[in-house]
């Protein structure tokens, strides 16, 4: 990993006033060599901050000392290029359901790198299996109170978990989960259900094991595996509707059991399961505080609530629930769902028909809302459903759309129409396949992926 390189400096901030500029490298803070942005944050919270930095383009000998006095807890105003400065911890599991193993060739190199680093779990909500967790990691998490963390469970039976992770440490690594929970660290779990492997009786056994061994878990999310056309694992296949219905029914039953034993529902099925089972989404109150919103659990209900509130004239921020330390980490680069929402890039406002670009599953979420959206817009509003031919398989979420598939859909779409593209399909202005907006055959307007922003875009 590169050094703690400064990506940007907020104008007028203490760092700006001290002369720190983009491209400078922070070497130490208060005498501590920087390992990651977490330690940077904890050190830079002090009222008196001593920095050792290497100026942009300077050699190793051109070190510079900078002293900053500020209010304790006030941010320095620096955004760093990376979150980890020593060595990001990669994943040594070989899970047959891992989506990274199912990516086609030719994508950006960074997309093929698997992480299993508890620091990225803490900062961004990435799930870790704990198979590379150590005594030193445990001491640090407990001492610095690095929570919430997000842990992939998949199965509590040691042999089955070893089979699912294809790593012998899968049988024993959940001991760290128990120790962290006993130390009072907030942890959210995840189960990826693979048909014929850890569903049915094995799924019930896992939920019973959680009640027995890990009742302090904050939440447990249940999600189906994604199977692309590039999958090379014959045992990994999409759910049938009956299998999805069985998972939803089992989650409902275990919510009742957990509520009786623990006073809370604990386990939640992803939105995709209700779509696969052709079942209505649970009412919003059944998601409690939407703790696993970013894991695709309760997103549909949140989106619906944002749309209805905005249509009724109620001011909503449209960001959806945000969890984790990142909300106040000065310096951590914005990534994934933690990234700032895009500004609405409206072209000239004209009374033209509107089409909302969406994936196949997203269209099913939008469908019940379309009548009110059309009335609000007072122009024809429809969806442009994009099939995901790039990944193929059962991949239907909007966030995995590629420029090639969007281009193909737009090429045959009518002109004199406004096309709204959710920003979840983009990262730094590019699709997963590297295409940019300028490469599309028609102009599109990028809209933040939330209900309130969609209503504003249609106004």
d(CA 44, CA 137): 22
Quick one: which of 133, 120, 225, 123 has its CA closest to 174?
Answer: 133
DSSP 219-245: EEEEEEPP--TT---TT--PPPHHHHH
Instruction: Give the span between the Cα atoms of 82 and 6, in whole angstroms.
Output: 9
Neighbour tally for 454: CB within 10 Å: 26
Q: Burial of 242 by CB count in 10 Å (0-12 exposed, 13-18 middle, 19+ buried)?
A: exposed
Clarify whether residues 63 and 154 are in a common domain.
no
Residue 231 burial (C-beta neighbours within 10 Å; 0-12, 13-18, 19+): buried
Q: Are residues 310 and 212 in the same domain?
A: yes
Nearest of 294, 296, 316 to residue 305 by alpha carbon: 316
Domain assignment present for residue 257? The answer is yes
| H-state helical runs in 66-153 | 118-124, 135-144
Residue 38 resides in a domain:
yes
- pLDDT per position as a tens digit, 303-354: 999 999 999 988 877 655 554 444 445 666 666 545 554 555 555 556 799 9
Q: Which of 82, 189, 69, 172 is nearest to 127 (CA)?
A: 189
**Rounded CA separation 342/446 (Å):** 7
Examine residue 93 and state whether it is found in any structural domain, yes or no: no
Which of the listed residues 48, 80, 112 is the one where a domain comes to its end?
80
Q: Are strands 32-33 and 25-29 parallel, antiparallel or unpaired?
A: antiparallel
Instruction: Count CB-CB contacts under 10 A for residue 237.
Output: 17
Same domain, 321 and 353: no
91 within a domain of the structure (yes/no):
no
Residues 76 and 145 in one domain: no
Positive or negative, the CA dihedral 436, 437, 441, 446 is positive
Task: Please report whether residue 352 resides in a domain.
Answer: yes
One domain, residues 284 and 380: no
Q: Are residues 421 and 272 in the same domain?
A: no
35 is written with which tokens? 């390992």
- Same domain for 323 and 177, yes or no, is yes
pLDDT of residue 124: 85
Domain match, 277 and 367 both: no
Phi, psi for residue 48 in degrees, rounded to 5? -115, 115
Q: Do residues 343 and 303 both lie within one domain? A: no
403 vs 420: CA distance, rounded Å: 14
State the angle between helix axes of 299-311 and 451-458 in degrees (0 to 180), rounded to the nearest 10: 40
For 268, the 3-state DSSP assignment is strand
Q: Which of 293, 309, 328 is the last residue of a domain?
A: 328
Nearest one of 41, 40, 39, 47 to 72, comparing CA atoms = 47
User: Is the CB of residue 258 less than 8 Å from the CB of residue 267?
Assistant: yes
pLDDT of residue 63: 85
In this structure, are 302 and 383 located in the same domain? no
Distance between start and end Cα atoms, the chain:
45
Whether residue 130 lies inside any domain: the answer is yes
Residue 95 lies in a domain: no
Q: Give me the CATH number covering residue 191.
A: 3.20.20
β-bridge mates for residue 4, sequence order: 26
Low-confidence ranges of the chain (pLDDT < 70): 1-2, 57-61, 318-350
User: Could you tell me if 22 and 52 lie in one domain?
Assistant: yes
Beta bridge partners of 79: 8
Which CATH number belongs to the domain containing residue 42 in this structure? Answer: 2.30.42.10
Q: For strand 418-422 and strand 354-358, is the pairing parallel, antiparallel, or unpaired?
A: parallel
Query: Domain for residue 289, yes or no?
Result: yes
Number of domains in the chain: 3
Orientation of helix 174-182 relative to helix 135-144, angle to 10°: 30
Q: How far apart are CA 300 and CA 34, in angstroms?
A: 40
Retrieve residue 339's tokens.
Answer: 């990234």
Q: Residue 350: which region, alpha, beta or left (left: phi > 0; alpha: psi -120 to 50)? A: beta
Domain of 434 in residue numbering reads as 339-458
Whether 295 and 197 map to the same domain: the answer is: yes
Among 328, 363, 381, residue at a domain's last position: 328
């Amino acid at each position: 990993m590169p050094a703690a390189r400064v990506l940007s400096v907020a104008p007028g901030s203490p760092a700006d006033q001290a002369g720190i500029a983009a491209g400078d490298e922070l070497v130490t803070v208060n005498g501590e060599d920087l390992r990651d942005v977490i330690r940077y944050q904890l050190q830079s919270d002090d009222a008196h901050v001593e920095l050792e930095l290497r100026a942009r383009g300077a050699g190793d000998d051109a070190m510079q000392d900078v002293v900053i006095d500020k209010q304790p807890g006030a941010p320095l105003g620096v955004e760093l290029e990376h979150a980890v400065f020593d060595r990001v911890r990669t994943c040594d599991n070989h899970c047959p359901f891992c989506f990274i193993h199912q990516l086609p060739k030719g994508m950006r190199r960074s997309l093929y790198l698997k992480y299993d680093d508890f620091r990225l779990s803490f900062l961004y909500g990435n799930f870790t299996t704990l198979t590379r967790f150590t005594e030193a990691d445990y001491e640090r998490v407990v001492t610095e109170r690095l929570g919430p963390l997000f842990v992939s469970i998949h199965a509590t039976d040691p042999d089955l978990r070893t089979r699912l992770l294809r790593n012998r440490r899968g049988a024993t690594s959940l001991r760290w989960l128990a120790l962290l929970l006993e130390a009072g660290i907030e942890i959210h779990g995840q189960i990826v259900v693979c048909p014929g492997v850890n569903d049915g009786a094995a799924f019930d056994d896992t939920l019973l094991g959680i009640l027995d061994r890990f009742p302090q878990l904050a939440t447990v999310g249940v999600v189906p595996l994604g199977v692309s056309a590039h999958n090379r694992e014959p045992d990994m296949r999409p759910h049938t509707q009956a299998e999805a219905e069985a998972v939803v029914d089992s989650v409902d039953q275990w919510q009742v059991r957990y509520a009786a034993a623990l006073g809370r529902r604990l386990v939640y099925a992803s939105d995709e399961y209700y779509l696969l089972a052709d079942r209505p989404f649970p009412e919003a109150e059944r998601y409690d505080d939407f703790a696993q919103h970013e894991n695709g659990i309760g997103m549909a209900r949140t989106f619906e609530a944002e749309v209805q509130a905005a249509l009724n004239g109620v001011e909503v921020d449209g960001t959806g629930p945000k969890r984790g330390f990142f909300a106040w980490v000065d310096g951590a680069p914005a990534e994934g769902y933690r990234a700032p929402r895009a500004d609405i890039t409206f072209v000239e406002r004209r009374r033209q028909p509107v089409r909302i670009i969406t994936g196949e599953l997203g269209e099913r979420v939008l469908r019940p809302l379309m009548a009110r959206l059309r009335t609000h817009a007072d122009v024809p509003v429809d969806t442009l459903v994009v099939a995901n031919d790039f990944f193929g398989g059962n991949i239907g979420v909007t966030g995995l759309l590629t420029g090639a598939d969007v281009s193909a859909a737009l090429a045959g779409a009518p002109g004199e129409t406004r096309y709204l593209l959710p920003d979840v399909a983009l990262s730094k202005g590019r699709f997963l396949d590297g295409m940019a907006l300028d490469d599309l055959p028609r102009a599109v307007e990028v809209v933040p992926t939330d209900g309130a922003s969609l209503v504003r875009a249609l106004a």
